[in-house]
Chain A
Amino acid sequence: MVTGGGKIYKELQSASGPIVVVDRVTDVAYGELVEIICGENIRRRGSVLDISEKRAVIQVFEGAQGISLRETAVKFLGRTLEFNVSKELLGRILNGVGLPLDGAPLPFKGETRSIYGSAINPVVRDYPMDVIETGISVIDGMNTLVRGQKLPVFSGNGLPHNEIAAQIARQARIRGSAGNFAVVFAAMGVKNDDAAFFREELERTGALENATMFINLASDPPEERLVTPRYALTLAEYLAFTQNMHVLVIMTDMTNYCEALREMTSARGEVPSRKGYPGYLYSDLAEIYERCGRIRGSSGSITQIPILTMPNDDITHPIPDLTGYITEGQIVLDRELHQKGIYPPINPLPSLSRIMKDAIGGDRTRPDHAHVANQLYSSYAAVGNIRALAAIVGAEELTDVDQKHLKFGDAFEENFIGQGKDERRTIPESLDRAWQLLSILPAESLHRVSKEEINRYYSHDNQFTQDGGSD
């Protein structure tokens, strides 16, 4: 951008919510960074959303309170919003716009980058292939996470998504490789408690020194949330693709991000699409989620675990819906499982990992992995139908095979989905457990696994097939 910046305008035309209009401007660029000076020491930042020959429409992203038409001045800075990234940011706690919350000054050295990034050229991408073992059976067995994948957690209020994300961050490892790990954590509009939970969690496990936290609290200005993930991902891209680190990015809660976007666009008077969200919510989210993956020429990677709470547990709500259309699968939490006391309450049926198919199997995990996963899906889906039927006609009326399915369903939920908050199961352990559970069902009903696999792994006699046999 050509620097025509530095010019100060003393008068605002209008200010409404996070949108400020300044007239009679010259030489201002679209997207230009703006400093809004509300008083001696109060400076906020914003950017130009719409610029014509005489008028600039500005979006403020550090809170619009205190802006007045007469007393506020606006300074155009001649560049976009930038962030100075370096490895020294690891171990630091910053606010939602990249300023320190931990008392120490920001590092001087570093590389200055626009927080908006640019699209990765698809021909430069490298397809994700390395399985991350999270130690959680229902993820590793049925929705395997792969390095460089974007796999969101769809949750609901009061469900243990934070614990699950923390458990993944704590237990995640690549089979047979050490490495150069970092965690970038972006919190948008979260409660103080949630931020503290993650901070303590990272401290407790000694991961904090390889982590950077960006924290925008529920009490912070919502406009800030629109840039928080972009700060975090700018750093993540630097760590992954310039410093060759494996970066896990946890972003919570994307629902708060989307709500801030809705607020901003309605303040601008834009034509909304579904539920008041802007028509370009998909593209906007894609700009965030696509900053992920592996690229040729770098040994690093970005793995994203965005967390979002589904309003009213509704998976068809635009936020989870559009997220699911962009990400490479989803982990869906289920209130019913949670109420049954099962942790982690991950419902495998609506969950999906799109990348796993190429990453699992063979000597990467185990040759039967894909088939076992499919069989679990198929059998557990059948359980749902049979439970519905049993509710009407009574369990006694069911066929023998159907009764076995009911038994399988309960045992599966308790012993495969369910596990301890600190329990780490290896992938072979998870798969063995799956076979033991599948052995509750007659072998002839298992069409997703091959005969050879049945011969090898099916066992009539194990802890789950015996009557009442759950541990």
Chain B
Amino acid sequence: MKHEPKLIRINGPVVFADRMGNASLGNQVEVGREHLTGEIITLENDIATIQVYEDTIGIKPGEPVRVLDEPVSVLLGPGILKSIYDGIQRPLDKLKDKSGTFIKRGLNVPAIDLDREWDFRPVVKTGQTVTPLAILGEIPETELVVHKVMVPHKYSGHLSWIAAPGKHKVTDVIARVVTEAGEKEITIMRKWPIRRPRPIIKRLLPNVPVITGQRVIDFLFPVARGGAAAIPGGFGTGKTVTQHQLAKWCDVDIIVYIGCGERGNEMTQVLEEFPALKDPHSQKPIMERTTLIANTSNMPVTAREASIYTGVTIAEYYRDMGYHVAIMADSTSRWAEALREISGRLEQMPAEEGYPAYLASRIGEFYERAGRSEITDHDGTKREGSVTIIGAVSPPGGDFSEPVVTHTRRFVRTFWGLDRDLASARHFPSIHWNSSYSEYDVSRWWEKNSSLSWSDLHRKAMEILKEDDRLQNIVKLIGPDALPDRQRITLEVARMIKEGFLQQSAFSEVDSYCSPEKQLAMIDIILCFYEKAGKLSATGVPASEIMQLPVVDKIFRMKEEIGNDEQAKFTEFKKIVEESFME
């Protein structure tokens, strides 16, 4: 027993152990008599620093430490969807069965039910040659998603055996492959280290938009499949509601939602709402495509740090099956703060605002795990998958010049800046048209999928908003009355775009989701009004009179009054708008 590792110091979630000469960085360890899960974060001589994923109150120096010969990993297999996990993939509903209302520590429950039997159906035959990630068989995981059992990354060779269709547990061997290194058994369930990205074999350009049904996003600042977006904003400006909206409506196959250091009730809300909400495309409850990771603000900060990686690893796994996955992380600032807290306990030299110097590289590594990938099977069939990352950022005091926002900007190409004043006026989403941007070129997709030109409409709308911004500065000094009529119309139409188009209540029955067709039809009508109003005012009709036209009020109300599947009504309405200028 003399050489067994043991604890020598406990400082909150960071503990120190000696006699750790044989361990490696990143190794998972079991800490103390209660076998709390931890991870080795530094090694010096034979002393290891360990971050413990659970509360360490009551632990004493001298207690044992056991080093597992593997890095901290997630379990991958059917059963992940519809589950809710903590930051290190412990199933919260199973924890409830064990410890009731409050989460006790030292509970070890596998992330995936090991006893449940799944319907496995092979899609390959014995004797066939397979390459890494080739699909061996399928399992209906939920009503919406068919799970694909794949060949592990390092294996290729011919199949010496594949299981017949039937019921299997995730630990069952369902195939054998003869590789150069001998015959290997393949089970349904796999492990993957959370901090190691699953490789993308062939990267495709992110130029297909994720359709979210949110006008300010799809129309003005789209994010592409396989892209990365950040949504920074002070408290109460709408990060979580926006992320929930995306999780509900966006047109991907799988949602990984990470509540990272945020409120317990927000996770409850998802748990209550998602099973009842139907996906607009499939009419199935959206919970069927969702997995939740809930490491709320009062749960251990070390597990909060891990939650981001747990989530993105799961996302990559489904991407490899050929699915489009969107991952929402709310909030990456809490994750960064977890890094800061751990680094502080290690007495590392802080860089900006107490954050460790490696903050930027960690943020970069995370967002770089987004991507759109193509996998070619041995028989030449191709499948495409993607991971789109949408990270909320919660800057102190709503100030975008702080380290997490500034570093995040470097790694994302869509930026949805939330604005405090818009939020105060209950203009939601409070994504500000001046501070936001998207660098993804998704015009090709729109040209293919709609009769109206997204690019044209987009450009014109942006021009009006820019012009409005310039004019507002003048108005602030001299009032709107001093402006020529032509410019007053620009102001009024800009207001129409902001309040009648960009503003979209998440809680509206009709308007919570807006189809791409409806989006273009709406903006087309506003721009049509703009054109006609401009012409009319050139003939000397005062702007104030034009803005009294009864269609104006109707334009402001069309988002609520015309539904997604009433495209004909928009055509009709556009006619009415045009006609109202003829009289």
Name which residue of chain A comes closest to B425, CB basis. Answer: A381
Q: CB distance A377 to B96 under 8 Å?
A: no
Q: CB distance A80 to B61 under 8 Å?
A: no
Q: CB distance B268 to A119 under 8 Å?
A: no
The 8 Å CB contact of A389, one of B261, B271, B479, is B479
Q: CB distance A280 to B61 under 8 Å?
A: no
Stretch at the interface among B3-11, B219-227, B281-289, B308-316: B3-11
Stretch at the interface among A9-17, A247-255, A316-324, A420-428: A316-324
Contact with A along B388-404 (1 / 0, CB 8 A): 00000010111100000
Interface core residue of A123, A330, A370, A388 (most chain B CB under 10 Å)? A123
Q: CB distance A324 to B96 under 8 Å?
A: no
Residues of chain A at the chain B interface (Cβ within 8 Å): 1-2, 4, 27-32, 49-53, 80, 116-128, 241, 270-274, 279-280, 282-283, 286-287, 290-291, 293, 295, 297, 316-318, 321-322, 324-326, 328-330, 349-350, 352, 354-355, 357-358, 370, 374, 377-378, 381-382, 388-389, 392-393, 397-399, 444, 447-448, 450-451
Name which residue of chain A comes closest to B271, CB basis. Answer: A123
The answer for the CA separation of A90 and B72 in the assembled complex, in Å, is: 48
Residues of B within 8 A of A349 (CB): 424-425
The 8 Å CB contact of A27, one of B60, B268, B269, B340, is B60
Residues of B within 8 A of A80 (CB): 57-58
The 8 Å CB contact of A282, one of B8, B334, B552, is B334
Q: CB distance A271 to B424 under 8 Å?
A: no
Known: A51-B9, A389-B476. A283 touches B341 (CB 8 A): yes
Q: A30-B57, A126-B268 are in contact. List 18 more A-B contacts (CB 8 A).
A: A27-B60, A29-B57, A30-B11, A52-B10, A118-B103, A120-B264, A121-B99, A123-B268, A123-B271, A124-B100, A273-B354, A283-B261, A316-B396, A325-B235, A350-B424, A374-B426, A393-B478, A447-B556
The verdict on B267 contacting chain A, using a C-beta distance below 8 Å, is: yes
Q: CB distance B427 to A316 under 8 Å?
A: no
Name which residue of chain B comes closest to A124, CB basis. Answer: B101
Residues of B within 8 A of A50 (CB): 9-12
Residues of A within 8 A of B478 (CB): 392-393
Q: CB distance A51 to B265 under 8 Å?
A: no
B485-537 contacts to A (CB < 8 Å): 499-500, 505, 507
The answer for the CA separation of A326 and B333 in the assembled complex, in Å, is: 13
Stretch at the interface among B134-142, B187-195, B297-305: B297-305
Residues of B within 8 A of A271 (CB): 344, 350, 354
Q: CB distance A53 to B8 under 8 Å?
A: yes
Name which residue of chain A comes closest to B340, CB basis. Answer: A279
Interface core residue of B259, B265, B478 (most chain A CB under 10 Å)? B265
The 8 Å CB contact of B101, one of A28, A52, A121, A378, is A121
Residues of B within 8 A of A377 (CB): 424-426
Shortest Cβ distance from residue A291 to the other chain B in the assembled complex, whole angstroms? 8
The answer for the CA separation of A283 and B344 in the assembled complex, in Å, is: 14
The verdict on B553 contacting chain A, using a C-beta distance below 8 Å, is: yes
Q: CB distance B264 to A293 under 8 Å?
A: yes
Shortest Cβ distance from residue B13 to the other chain A in the assembled complex, whole angstroms? 10
The verdict on B59 contacting chain A, using a C-beta distance below 8 Å, is: yes
The answer for the CA separation of A358 and B268 in the assembled complex, in Å, is: 13
Interface core residue of A30, A31, A324, A398 (most chain B CB under 10 Å)? A30
Q: CB distance B298 to A286 under 8 Å?
A: yes
Q: CB distance A127 to B272 under 8 Å?
A: yes
Residues of chain B at the chain A interface (Cβ within 8 Å): 8-12, 16, 55-62, 84, 92-93, 95-96, 99-104, 234-236, 259, 261, 263-265, 267-269, 271-272, 294, 296-299, 301, 334, 337, 340-341, 344, 350, 353-354, 394, 396-399, 421, 424-427, 475-481, 499-500, 505, 507, 544, 552-553, 556-557, 560
The answer for the CA separation of A28 and B426 in the assembled complex, in Å, is: 54
The 8 Å CB contact of A241, one of B101, B268, B271, B476, is B101
Shortest Cβ distance from residue B215 to the other chain A in the assembled complex, whole angstroms? 16
Residues of B within 8 A of A116 (CB): 57
Name which residue of chain B comes closest to A117, CB basis. Answer: B102
Known: A117-B102, A123-B93. A399 touches B425 (CB 8 A): no
Shortest Cβ distance from residue B239 to the other chain A in the assembled complex, whole angstroms? 10
The answer for the CA separation of A211 and B373 in the assembled complex, in Å, is: 61
Q: CB distance A118 to B104 under 8 Å?
A: yes
Shortest Cβ distance from residue A353 to the other chain B in the assembled complex, whole angstroms? 10
Q: Which 3 A-B pairs have the closest CB atoms?
A: A316-B397, A381-B425, A286-B297
The answer for the CA separation of A227 and B298 in the assembled complex, in Å, is: 16
Residues of B within 8 A of A388 (CB): 476
The answer for the CA separation of A456 and B99 in the assembled complex, in Å, is: 53
Q: CB distance A52 to B8 under 8 Å?
A: yes
Shortest Cβ distance from residue A289 to the other chain B in the assembled complex, whole angstroms? 8
The answer for the CA separation of A124 and B104 in the assembled complex, in Å, is: 13
The answer for the CA separation of A398 and B478 in the assembled complex, in Å, is: 10
The 8 Å CB contact of A30, one of B60, B301, B350, B398, is B60
The answer for the CA separation of A355 and B240 in the assembled complex, in Å, is: 13
The answer for the CA separation of A399 and B298 in the assembled complex, in Å, is: 52
Residues of B within 8 A of A2 (CB): 58, 60
Shortest Cβ distance from residue B149 to the other chain A in the assembled complex, whole angstroms? 28
The answer for the CA separation of A185 and B271 in the assembled complex, in Å, is: 32
Offer 23 A-B interface pairs, CB within 8 angstroms, sorted by A: A28-B60, A30-B56, A30-B58, A51-B11, A53-B61, A118-B104, A119-B102, A120-B103, A120-B264, A120-B298, A121-B102, A122-B264, A123-B93, A124-B101, A271-B354, A290-B264, A316-B397, A355-B265, A377-B425, A381-B425, A393-B478, A399-B480, A450-B560
The 8 Å CB contact of B56, one of A31, A282, A389, is A31
Q: CB distance A121 to B95 under 8 Å?
A: yes
Residues of A within 8 A of B61 (CB): 28, 51-53
Interface core residue of A53, A295, A398 (most chain B CB under 10 Å)? A53
Shortest Cβ distance from residue B104 to the other chain A in the assembled complex, whole angstroms? 7
The answer for the CA separation of A49 and B13 in the assembled complex, in Å, is: 11
Q: CB distance A321 to B396 under 8 Å?
A: yes
Q: CB distance B354 to A119 under 8 Å?
A: no
Q: CB distance A354 to B299 under 8 Å?
A: no
Shortest Cβ distance from residue A336 to the other chain B in the assembled complex, whole angstroms? 15
The 8 Å CB contact of B59, one of A29, A122, A317, is A29
Residues of B within 8 A of A32 (CB): 58
Residues of A within 8 A of B60 (CB): 2, 4, 27-30, 51
Q: CB distance B9 to A378 under 8 Å?
A: no
The answer for the CA separation of A322 and B61 in the assembled complex, in Å, is: 34
The answer for the CA separation of A370 and B16 in the assembled complex, in Å, is: 54
Residues of A within 8 A of B556 (CB): 447
Name which residue of chain A comes closest to B428, CB basis. Answer: A374
Q: CB distance B476 to A122 under 8 Å?
A: no
Shortest Cβ distance from residue A285 to the other chain B in the assembled complex, whole angstroms? 8
The answer for the CA separation of A350 and B421 in the assembled complex, in Å, is: 9
Shortest Cβ distance from residue B107 to the other chain A in the assembled complex, whole angstroms? 11
The answer for the CA separation of A127 and B9 in the assembled complex, in Å, is: 41
Q: CB distance A378 to B96 under 8 Å?
A: no
Shortest Cβ distance from residue B15 to the other chain A in the assembled complex, whole angstroms? 8
Shortest Cβ distance from residue A193 to the other chain B in the assembled complex, whole angstroms? 32
Known: A125-B268, A393-B478. A279 touches B341 (CB 8 A): yes
The 8 Å CB contact of A397, one of B8, B92, B479, is B479
The answer for the CA separation of A329 and B423 in the assembled complex, in Å, is: 13
The answer for the CA separation of A349 and B9 in the assembled complex, in Å, is: 49
Shortest Cβ distance from residue A82 to the other chain B in the assembled complex, whole angstroms? 12
Residues of A within 8 A of B301 (CB): 280, 283
Shortest Cβ distance from residue B212 to the other chain A in the assembled complex, whole angstroms? 20
Residues of B within 8 A of A330 (CB): 236
The answer for the CA separation of A39 and B276 in the assembled complex, in Å, is: 64
